[in-house]
Structure formats: structure tokens, C-alpha cells
Amino acid sequence: MEQLVQKLKEEIITALNLSEMKPENIDEKAPLFVDGLGLDSIDALELTVLLEKKYGLKINTSEEGKKVLLSVNSMAEFIRENKKG
Amino acid sequence: MEAFINSLSAISPQNTFAEEKLLHEAREYNNVRFLRCVEPQYSTFIDPMASRRMSRIIKMGVCSAIKCLQEAGINNPDAIITGTGMGCVEDTGRFLASIFENEEKLLNPTPFIQSTHNTVGASIALILKCKNYNNTYGHRGFSFESALLDGIMMLQEEEANDILVGALDELTPDLFTITDRLGFWKKDPVNNLHLKDYRSRGSLAGEGTTFFSLSRTKNEKSFARIRSLQTFLKPAGQREIEKKLTDTDKPDLVILGINGNPPGDEIYNHLKSGIFVNTPAAYYKHLCGEYDTSSAFALAMAAGIIREQHVPDIMKLDSKPVGAIRNILIYNHLRNVNHSVIQVSSC
Amino acid sequence: MAAKVFITGAGIISSIGLDYKEVLSSLKASRSGIGKMTLIDSVHKEEIPVAEIKKTNAELKELANVPGKAIFSRTSLLGIIAAREALSQAEIENTSEYRTGLISASTVGGMDRTEKFLKKYLKDKNHGRLRDIITHDMGDSTEKIAEYCRISDYVTTISTACSSSANAIMVGSRLIENGILDRALVGGVDCLTLFTINGFNSLMILDKNGCRPFDENRNGLTLGEGAAFLVLESERIVEKTGKKIFGAVSGYGNACDAFHQTASSPGGDGAFLSMQKALLKAGITPDKIDYINAHGTGTKNNDLSEGNAIERLFGNSVPPCSSTKSFTGHTLGAAGGIEAVFSVMAIEHQCIWPNLNFANKMNELGFLPVTELRKDAAVRNVLSNSFGFGGNNTSLIFSKC
């Protein structure tokens, strides 16, 4: 799980071009959007694409998206629960 | 119809962004087929979080706009008006390529949302939280002139006192490859400072972003004044062009859009030995390269020349003595289709 | 109110008709142009509906009466057809007797041909037919329209995403008011492309069931294609010729939402400001507006933000309001022009166009859109909204003369 969190942080930094950010600057428990990292709706779409491309996982509704993309931890949790094999 | 220029900022293949003085030292590029901008340290001007989705042209445009406003001491312009011939080419190309590479599935939305022609104008407004008039023109060699005319109208309508008008165009590897196949550029590499002397067909590709802070009335920062502006599409012949140029006041200096392509330069040479035979002449495309909104770079040069009362030797086309420079005429055409005349004066 | 810019002609081509008459009869019959994608070869053609003009480019060439071998993007062809209709309605044959300008608008330009080019180019940079790429930029379609309408005094193109052609109408009006032009052909054009279909799909805002503006269960927009132009003329020309007047451009306002590159602010600040500026320019109070042709794309975000802005401005007395994108889809750079023509039609025929596909009232809003055609409505002033990416918001007011 810890490995996955670290990997996810790196992937998020690359996908969203957070060039000034290092993985240790991202708090895996903190909200990714608005108050926390300050991401927005476009970032949410980019993270949705990331999950599907890298992990083959699809987010089907915006409600589900809100839950999954809450924090790095919630994303990791979603991957762990749904990833087959 | 007039507008006062209170500040300008240009990112170009020259050191225009960093230097206070105009063309203190011209940059020479040897063995090149295109010129690229000298880019500043963006993070000095744009917060990295705000710039994380910005392509190069967006960063260049926003950066020159912000510096221009800073110099004019304006926080919230009454209008932000931009012109771009080709828009955000890199993002457009990236999104198009992703469509075909991924067979229309799972595409990253960022290049799409950043691809519209008004992205730079919108990004400036977003950073400034400026809710005022915002418009963008995208029409080949008229893009900048249309933005400028809109701005001058805003001032004339008394809808605005201080406005930001700018132009932006970027060169990407694909844009160069495609326009090269179209025969726009010289096949053999050149030295940019000798651009006008080559006999071969084509020009030297370029790019740049140029912004101006303009006001309705003269203030303590004003150093030049835009007096008139005309655009004309596909003129019937040299006569029609001459007529447009003689409609203006007699210039102390004429700046011509010579780009090194002999057929296109014919009209400039004709004017130089004709109606402008006694007028000192200068040119600029060897400094910035050819692109749709290069006339904005020419206007920056003209305004700088008036401010400093000095024509850099590197721009001169002849050795005619230049006296007091009160009135400059800029005449440019893009591929003999979009012609424009801008008249700039001292305040 | 001293209206100085008169509308003397209107031309249109869209999924609900190939000319003014056909479009008008579709509006009156509540006939939507939204349906299956048949002319674009996209992997999404089975799942994403669009509002297509069911004519191939070869057929459009015939309609536009242009040489068969000449190179035209689909936008150019659509533009020429609508622009010519507008000029002929205004009974203009000779464009050289007055200072005449063309202010067109587009967001995709010749992207349809660019896509053809790229398929080959991306495999080998020496491939792809150059004739397919020379029409790429926005200027190309505008210059083709200018050439076929013989306009050269002032020609330009505005490109501010989905508010482009509303801005063209505004700028054309200002050029006449400032005495720079006597006459302006203004409007815009966009065709359907893989670029826009996939672009909006990547934003996940395309409703698989077709757009449902202002409905509680709306789930996105539907893309469409089309072109529309108005002929604007100065008071001097109109007085001299005594020609038929369709109405006047009495107000316009442009403001920036300055909130987000794509999302609108929750309170619709930019929309509120653009509507307020338009009213101020027209010199009328909100109660004088008889019909609002809303931007109403059908996305969750737009309709809520726009609805909020409308309620902020009109309070409890929101005038009859509808989004005609339920007929034409969202035609992007052409939308402002198309909806301007619908506004002119509303004034000419004293009708209010319905908002199709509406079933459930939005929880957050107090007003309902008009859902049935209203005939014999007293329509004197129409407010038309067009909002684009980058928070570019433009409102226009058209008035009966």
C-alpha cells in the first residue's frame, strides 16, 4: 500500500505537471481538491484518465469520482479494492 | 482616432524582454532556418500552480502581458484584446495527435481546453481577476491589427481608459515542417542579420509575443502615440498600396516588412525607390523572423525608436540621415494577402 | 432609444434547415436537428448524437455554387451559403458602393481538412496532401467568404470559443457606430470535427441522450454545426434606400467571468455583467426584455450558472426564456450568429421559440423555460447570451424597429 501511495503521488505530479511539487510535499490524507492541493475539475478528469489508463479502472459516475478522488489514500484504496490479479 | 502607448513588453528572438533599451545588442543567429524566442524565467512572473497547464505560447503571452502591465502600473485594464494568427498550435497539435494515436479513447482534456485562440487573453484575465472586456482575433496577417483597432475603438467610445492589446504566435516543429513543405521558408540556412540579401525564395520563420498598454489620454508614462491604422485585403496592385500609404502624414522613417523573399519584397523595393525615395527606411523581420503577427514586433520597435530618438543601425536599410523622429509609418504584408499600415508618432 | 445599427438581412444554414425559410418552419414545428452521427467517421458515432447538416461537402459545393475543383473546408462552404443568403435578403448586389466589412467568427476553421491531412502526416511527415492543410487557419474560411461576397474594405475573424460570433456581431455594430464602416456582414461558422467531438467528450460533457437545457437531469451538451450571418447597416443607408428592416442591434456587452478556463462561476458573474452591460447600452431596464434566448448548453455547470445570473438580474420576473440549442445543438463559433437569427425571427414573427427536451424543473432555479411555441407574443426586445471557454461572456440585445 505504501509503495502504491508513493507511485501514485509520482504519477499525479507527472500527469498534472505539478513541476514544483515533490512526492513528500503531498499529504496522502489531505484533500486533493480546493482546500488541500488546490486541484480543480480539469485535474479530476486528468486523474480519471490516469486511473483508467494505468490501472484499467473506470469511474462511472461523478458521485463515485468525488469519493475516489478525495485524496491519494482514497485513490490507492480504490485501486487496491478493484484491481484484479 | 488615437491611442497613447505607455508601456510595451515583447518576448522575441531578440533580448527585448530583458533589455530596457531597444536592441542594445542585436542577436545574431548563424546557419538557421527559423528563429525562436529568448524565453524568460517564467516563475518570476507566473505562479507555477497557475502555469501548470500552460504551453510555451501561453506562458510567453501571459508573461509579456504581466510585465507590460507592471511597467504601466495598471492592475486591472479596462480591456484585454489579443490577436493571433495560428493560436495555440502546440496544444491543438497535441490534442489532434492524441485523437489518432488513441483511436479517440481516453484522451487528456488539458490540451483541448487550452487550444482555443483566446486562451492567452483568458489566462491573463484569470490571473488578474479582470472581469472587463475580453476579445481575441484570429485572422492571419490582420490578427494584431484587428485587436489594435478594437482597442482604439474602445478608447474612442470612452468605454475604456487603459487597455492591454497584444499579439502572439508560436512556432512549433510541426508548424515549421508543414509550412516548410508549403515553401514558406528558405531551404538553405541563413544568417538572420543578412536576411534581406539572400536571393533564394522564402523567408526565415519566427515567432513572438508583444503586448502594449494603451490609454485614451496622455499620461506621464506615455512615450508614443498610434495615429492611424489601416488593413486591406489583396490589393489590386502597387497603385492601390501607394495610395493608402500617401493618405498618411509624411513620415520621418518608414519601417518595411521585408522578409527576404524576393517576390514578396518587390513592393517594398518599389516603394523605397518611389514614394519613399527621400525617406529613411528600416526593416525588422531579420530580428524576429516572419510570422502572422510580426507587425506587433514592428510597432514595438517603432515606439522604442520614438522613445529613444534613435534608429538602431541594424534596422537601417539605407544611410540617409535621420533627424528628429516624430512620425513613423509601418507597412507590412503577409504573403501579399493581408496588408497593413500603422502610423506611430511622438506624443 | 436611438438605434443606429439596423439589421437588413439574415442568412442561416443549420441542422434544422438549409436556409432562413426552412429553419423558421422547423422552429415553428418544434423539429430538432439532433440525431445520429452519419457524416463523420468517429468511433463514437453510435453513442454520441450530434446536430448535423445532412449534406456532404460535394452537395454543399453545389448549394454554395462554387467551382467543383476548388479547395474548400466545410466551414467555408457553410459560411458562403449563409453569408450570401444574408446579402441577398438585404438586396445587396454591389458591395463596393459603401464601406463594407466582414467580421466572421470560428473556432475550428478548416479543421475538417486538417484531420484528413494529419491521418497521413502523423505516419510520415512527408505525407498528407498540402491542399488539405492550407485551409487550417480561421482566416481561410473568412477570406473565402469575403471573396465570394466581394468584400475587402475590412475583413477579420474573431475566435473566442463559444462566444465568437456574438462578439463578431458586437464588433460589427461598433465599427458602424464609430463610423469606420457603413455596412457589416457579421456572424460565424463552425462544422463538426473529430477535434471538437473528442474534445468535449474528454471533458465528459456530451449528453448521450441529446442535450436537455435547463432540465434537472441534464447531462451535457450536444454538438452541432452551422453558419449564420446578419447584414448590419447604418442609419444613413437605411434612410436612403428605405429597405426592409428586420430589427436593430440595440445593445451588447462583453465581460470576463475570470473564474476558470472552462467552468463558469457559481453565481454567473461574467454572465450577469455581460447582460447588465447590454441593457445599459440599449438604455432599457430588465422589464423591457420580452424573450431571453439563453446560452443554455445543457451542461450541469452552464445552465446553473447562467440561470443564477438571470435570476440575479431579473429577480422574480424572469421573462420567457429558452435555449434553442435543443434544436441546433451547440454550434460553438456559429452559435451566437445562429441564435441572433433566431432572435430576429422571434421579432419578425412575434414568436417565442420553445426549449425542447425539457421535463423537470431545476431545483436551484425559480423559473421554467418556455416549452411550447408561443405565437402572437409581443416581442420587442430579445436578449441573446453566448458564453465561451476562458469565461468569455457576451450578451446581445435585438430590438424591433
Which residue, B193, B224, B255, sits at the end of a domain?
B224
* Grid cell listed for C332: 460553438
| Span C130-185, pLDDT tens digits | 999 999 999 999 999 999 999 999 999 999 999 999 999 999 999 999 999 999 99
Asked whether the beta carbons of residue C143 and residue B233 sit closer than 8 angstroms, the reply is: yes
Residue among A80, A78, A60 at smallest CA distance from A69: A78
**How many inter-chain contacts (A to B, CB under 8 Å) are there?**
27
Distance CA C274, CA C391 (A): 11
Active-site annotation holds for C330: yes
Q: Name the residue type at position C17.
A: G
Do C123 and C203 touch, CB atoms closer than 8 A?
no
- Is residue C295 part of the annotated active site? The answer reads yes
**pLDDT digits over C68-108, tens only?**
888 999 999 999 999 999 999 999 998 889 999 999 999 99
Residues B284 and B137 in one domain: no
Closest chain C residue by Cα to residue A40 = C260
Q: Which of B49-53, C253-257, C275-279, C306-310 has the least mean pLDDT?
A: B49-53
Same domain, B63 and B184: yes
Report the pLDDT value the prediction gives residue C1, as an integer from 0 to 100.
Answer: 39
C255 CB neighbours in chain B (<8 A) are 131-134
User: What domains are there in chain A, each with its CATH number?
Assistant: 2-82 (1.10.1200.10)
- Shortest distance between the Cα of A45 and any Cα of chain C, in A, equals 7
**What distances in angstroms separate CA C43 from CA C31, C48, C76, C128, C191, one per listed residue?**
27, 9, 26, 22, 18
> Are residues C263 and A45, on separate chains, in Cβ contact within 8 Å?
no
**Residue A41 and residue C204: Cβ atoms within 8 Å?**
no
Give the span between the Cα atoms of B44 and C133, in whole angstroms. 38
Q: Under an 8 A CB cutoff, do A40 and C260 touch?
A: yes
Domain count of the fold of chain B: 2
Does B239 share its domain with B140? no
- pLDDT of C2 higher than 60: no
Average pLDDT, chain A: 91
Provide the shortest C-alpha distance from residue B30 to chain C (in Å).
Answer: 26
* Chain C residues whose beta carbon lies within 8 Å of the beta carbon of residue A49: 202
β-sheet bridge partners, residue C221: C206
Mean pLDDT of C279-296: 98
Any idea which fold C5-241 has?
Peroxisomal Thiolase; Chain A, domain 1 (3.40.47)
Find, in chain B, the residue whose alpha carbon is nearest to that of C136.
Answer: B86
Asked if C5-241 and C251-399 have one fold, the answer is yes
Residue B237 and residue B195 in one domain: no
Clarify whether residues B117 and B41 are in a common domain. Answer: yes
Q: Strand C321-322 relative to strand C247-256: parallel, antiparallel, unpaired?
A: unpaired
Q: E strands along C327-371, which residues?
A: none
Residues B74 and B176 both lie in one domain: yes
**Cβ contact, residue pair C261, A42, below 8 Å:** yes
pLDDT by residue (tens digit) across C183-215? 999 999 999 999 999 999 999 999 999 999 999
Task: Tell me which of B224, B248, B272 is where a domain ends.
Answer: B224
Task: Give which of A17, A54, A58 to mutate to test B binding, by max B Cβ within 10 Å.
Answer: A17
Taking the CA of residue A48 and the nearest CA in chain B, the distance in Å comes to 9
Segment C12-54, tens digit of pLDDT: 999 999 999 999 999 999 999 999 999 999 999 999 999 999 9
Other chains touching A, judged by 3 or more CB pairs under 8 Å:
B, C
pTM tops 0.95, yes or no: yes
Domain C251-399, what fold?
A: Peroxisomal Thiolase; Chain A, domain 1 (3.40.47)
Q: Are B47 and B110 within one domain?
A: yes
Helix axes C269-282, C300-314, angle to 10 degrees: 40
Mean pLDDT per 10-residue interval, chain B, length 347 residues: 95 94 88 98 93 97 98 98 98 98 97 98 98 98 98 95 98 98 98 96 98 97 97 94 90 98 97 97 98 98 96 96 97 98 97
Q: Is the Cβ of B122 closer than 8 Å to some Cβ of chain A?
A: no
DSSP A27-48: -TTS-SBTTSS-B-HHHHHHHH
Q: Are residues B147 and B250 in the same domain?
A: no
Mean confidence (pLDDT) of chain C: 97
In this prediction, the residues of chain A whose per-residue pLDDT falls under 50 are none
- Domain residue spans in chain C? 5-241, 251-399
Both B200 and B307 in one domain: the answer is no
Q: Do B48 and A42 touch (CB under 8 A)?
A: no
Check whether residue B241 and residue B194 sit in a common domain.
no
Whole domain around residue B241: which residue ranges? 226-345
Q: Which amino acid is at A3?
A: Q
For residues B156 and B295, state if they share a domain. no
Closest-CA residue in chain C for A62? C204
Q: Which residues of C touch A40 (CB under 8 A)?
A: 260, 263
The span from the CA of C240 to the CA of C256, in Å, is: 39
Chain C contact present for B181, CB below 8 A: yes
Q: How many CB atoms lie within 10 A of CB B154?
A: 25
Q: How confident is the model at residue C3 (pLDDT cuts 50, 70, 90)?
A: very low
Q: Helices B262-273 & B238-246, crossing angle to 10 degrees?
A: 50
Which of B199, B224, B249 is the C-terminal boundary of a domain?
Answer: B224
The residue annotated as part of the active site, out of C149, C162, C211, C351, is C162
Chain A residues within 8 A of B106 when measuring between CB atoms: 49, 52-53
- Residues C204, A40: C-beta atoms closer than 8 Å: no
Residues B35 and B114 in one domain: yes
The answer to whether B137 contacts C158, with C-beta atoms less than 8 Å apart, is: yes
CB pairs A-C closer than 8 Å: 12
CATH number for B157 = 3.40.47.10
Binary contact (A42, B107; C-beta < 8 A): no
